[in-house]
Amino acid sequence: METDYSGYAIMHELQRKEQESSAGLQLLTREQDAGPQLLEKFRELIPTMGLTEDMLAILPQSSERRDGAG
């Protein structure tokens, strides 16, 4: 949906199964701290996707590093 190609991506997901559908919105970042401006941008998109603020879940930060230096 939106990305800066170096630090973050906002992804919108829509799944349809027969008569039911579900939607999701994800903010993916390379840094553990997304920063207040990016979080605000993400929160502004929530209602435009038919979602509500109470559906927001912030996952715990991962201590693992992909490069094995963790």
Domain ranges of the chain: 2-55
Q: What is the rounded distance in angstroms from the CA atom of residue 6 to the CA atom of residue 30?
A: 8
Q: 17-32: per-residue pLDDT in tens?
A: 888 988 899 999 998 8
DSSP codes, 42-68: HHHHTGGGT--GGG---PPPP---TTS
Kindly indicate the confidence band of residue 66, based on its pLDDT and cuts at 50, 70 and 90: low
Helix (H), strand (E) at residue 5: none
